[in-house]
Amino acid sequence: MLLMTTKASYVFTTMTSILHQVKQRRLTLGLKQSDMMLRVGVSRQQYQRLESKGNPRLDTLELIAKGLNSELMLIPKEKLGAVMALLEPGSLEPGEGLEHPANKPAKQDAQKSLSDDPWQGLLGDES
């Protein structure tokens, strides 16, 4: 599942819904379609077409996400609930860690602060 993250409270899986999410993020940032030319490097007309009915390539979608101060992520379905709980507004205050034992970071990551790695231990990886 692709997810554009930035403390968003919405998840979409179809291309139409992903494009809707892009539009919502742009509006949340208070940007106009014409502003995207400077941020992404596409004309207003190109961006408008992409946002309304486009089928962007992955690299174009990544570029747009970057222009919207966001990231694209592929999240395993079994971890989606944990990720969404983390993204819910007010779920974690800055510097606050995850309490569940399965979500504790690996020993080597324990030295990292939450601001350095906000996803530490979330997916249960030992990396």
Residue 21, domain member (yes or no): yes
Q: What tokens appear for 127 in the block?
A: 């990396």
Neighbours of 82 (CB within 10 A): 18
Taking each continuous run of H as one helix and of E as one strand, the counts in the chain are 5, 2
Residue 87, domain member (yes or no): no
pLDDT higher than 70, residue 54: yes
Q: What tokens appear for 17 in the block?
A: 């819904």
Tell me the average pLDDT of the chain.
75
pLDDT higher than 60, residue 14: yes
Residue 86, domain member (yes or no): no
- Structural domain count, the chain: 2
Q: Taking a C-beta distance cutoff of 8 angstroms, is the pair 73, 5 a contact?
A: yes
Q: pTM of the prediction?
A: 0.56
Q: What is the largest CA-CA distance in the chain?
A: 50
Residue 89, domain member (yes or no): no
CATH number of the structural domain spanning residue 58? 1.10.260.40
